[in-house]
Amino acid sequence: MAPVGSPADRQRSPAAASSEIWRQEIQQRLHDPSLVLVDALPADSYAEGHIPGARSLPAAEIVTRAGEVLPDRHGEIAVYCAKVTCPAAGRAIEQLRALGYTHLRHYRGGLADWTEGGGELESVAPAEPVAPLPAPRPTATRSLPAPSWSAALLAFIERQSTAQLFGCWLAMIVTCSVLYWLAGLWAHDGLIAGGQPVEMNARGLATAVYFSFVTATSVGYGDVLPLGVARVVAVAEAVSGLLIFGAVVAKFVSRRQDELVREIHRVTFEERLDRVQTNLHLVLSEIQAIAAMCEDGAVRLERVGPRLESAALVFAGELRAIHDLLYRPQWAPEEPVLSAILASLASSLRELSELLVCMPAGFARSATLQDTLRTLARLADEVCGECVPHTYAPSLRMWMDRIQETARRIA
């Protein structure tokens, strides 16, 4: 078997013009600032594990982010992806060279060679928060007003959980009960029950607790009346109780809304999976129908071209959905469903590649069809067991590698 970076590999590499770099050199120069390592895999894969110190620059984002991630166009840059057969690094090098980067090197072995050699990987949080842009300076000379105390209070209440709010509500009732009870130590203050002041004993404390409870939940029943300072406490407790009670109700409503939204997303996701499978079957049927016309010799090129172009466009749209499902999943599909989708995708790609080979000699691909086929090949080439940043069962990885192998015969 030819070693990584051998002449045989260079002939197959899309980045043959770039120099190779070996694992041993990267290990020796791992902390050398003159060598910049670039991980060309998607951001999710970079988050799960990358060579220490490497910068994340997915091949799909090079045009928009290369200047930000790699400001020195003449510095030494080593690009890698998952393994020898992963095409992301080769495409990244081609795009970087087109943008004017002059000193590019290709670590063909990638993460597989690095870990086989005993190299460790770094990982980061799956979703790092993006730093907000600095707020523009106000044009007016007058400073912006500070948030009001009511806004700060509402924000504080919103951050609390339902259990915490309920605990605050109970603590307020107990605290106010003690205040009502102690207010009876002063003349003309405290509570009156049955026309008599509440006594400073256990029965009086129970009356204070009762009054505090009905005050926090309503406007009181009228059988116990506050006097003096107790009136101020009663008003404050009534207002606070309404605020906390409203916040608790809002929490329950919000939780129910979140459950409904998650259920809607789940149903939508399942419908999307069904649509992908249905459209893949339709694409496969259309490709087989066109292939049958070719085999019968009854091919009218003016009719085959539009049919093939239409089928390819639908195929490309569903392949984008599958690509997003693998690289940016909002929900994790069940393994049998994903296996069926990948099997249909592999069959459709195989039929398409065979159809393109058996098309009549006079058939000329339109610009739209050619662009669509390139898109299909690019997206399918990224569906491989080592490139997708998630761990799947061996059977699914087998389908992914088969899809990648077939994709290279299309464009």
- pLDDT at residue 5, rounded to an integer: 41
Q: What is the DSSP string of 123-145?
A: ---SSPPPPPPPPPPPSSSSPPP
Helix segments in 99-227, DSSP class H: 110-116, 149-159, 162-183, 202-217
- pLDDT at residue 24, rounded to an integer: 92
Average pLDDT over residues 345-356: 89
pLDDT in tens, 242-281: 878 777 777 777 777 777 777 887 777 788 888 888 999 9
Task: Report the C-alpha gap between 213 and 191 in whole angstroms.
Answer: 14
Count Cβ atoms within 10 A of the Cβ of residue 152 and give its class: 0-12 exposed, 13-18 middle, 19 or more buried: exposed
Question: Under 8 Å CB-to-CB from 83, ≥6 apart: which residues?
Answer: 109, 110, 111, 112, 113, 386
Q: CA dihedral in degrees (152, 158, 163, 165; nearest 10)?
A: 40
Say if CB 372 and CB 313 are below 8 A apart.
yes
Say if CB 372 and CB 305 are below 8 A apart.
no
Confidence of residue 16 (pLDDT cuts 50, 70, 90): very low
Confidence of residue 36 (pLDDT cuts 50, 70, 90): very high
Average model confidence (pLDDT) for the chain? 79
pLDDT in tens, 306-324: 888 899 899 989 988 888 8
190 - beta bridge partners?
227
Say if CB 189 and CB 227 are below 8 A apart.
yes
Percentage of residues in the chain having pLDDT higher than 90? 13
User: What pairing do the DSSP bridges indicate for beta strands 35-39 and 19-20?
Assistant: unpaired
Q: Is the pLDDT of residue 290 over 90?
A: no
User: What pairing do the DSSP bridges indicate for beta strands 190-193 and 196-197?
Assistant: antiparallel
- pLDDT at residue 4, rounded to an integer: 44
Average pLDDT over residues 213-231: 78
Helix (H/G/I), strand (E/B), else coil: 30: coil
Task: Report the C-alpha gap between 122 and 111 in whole angstroms.
Answer: 11
Helix (H/G/I), strand (E/B), else coil: 187: coil
- pLDDT at residue 226, rounded to an integer: 84
Confidence of residue 80 (pLDDT cuts 50, 70, 90): very high
More confident residue, 27 or 131: 27
Task: Report the C-alpha gap between 78 and 85 in whole angstroms.
Answer: 17
Confidence of residue 76 (pLDDT cuts 50, 70, 90): very high
Name the phi and psi angles at 396, rounded to 5.
-70, -40
Q: Is the pLDDT of residue 298 over 80?
A: no
Q: What domains lie within the chain, and their CATH numbers?
A: 7-116 (3.40.250.10), 151-227 (no CATH), 260-407 (no CATH)
Confidence of residue 104 (pLDDT cuts 50, 70, 90): very high
Task: Report the C-alpha gap between 44 and 60 in whole angstroms.
Answer: 13
Name the phi and psi angles at 15, rounded to 5.
-115, 45
Site of tokens 């690009």:
79
| 121 token code pair | 């990987």
Per-residue CA distances from 27 to 22, 32, 86, 118, 214 (Å):
9, 10, 21, 10, 72
Confidence of residue 53 (pLDDT cuts 50, 70, 90): very high
Average pLDDT over residues 271-293: 87
Name the residue among 310, 309, 326, 308 with its Cα closest to residue 403: 326
Task: Report the C-alpha gap between 227 and 233 in whole angstroms.
Answer: 10
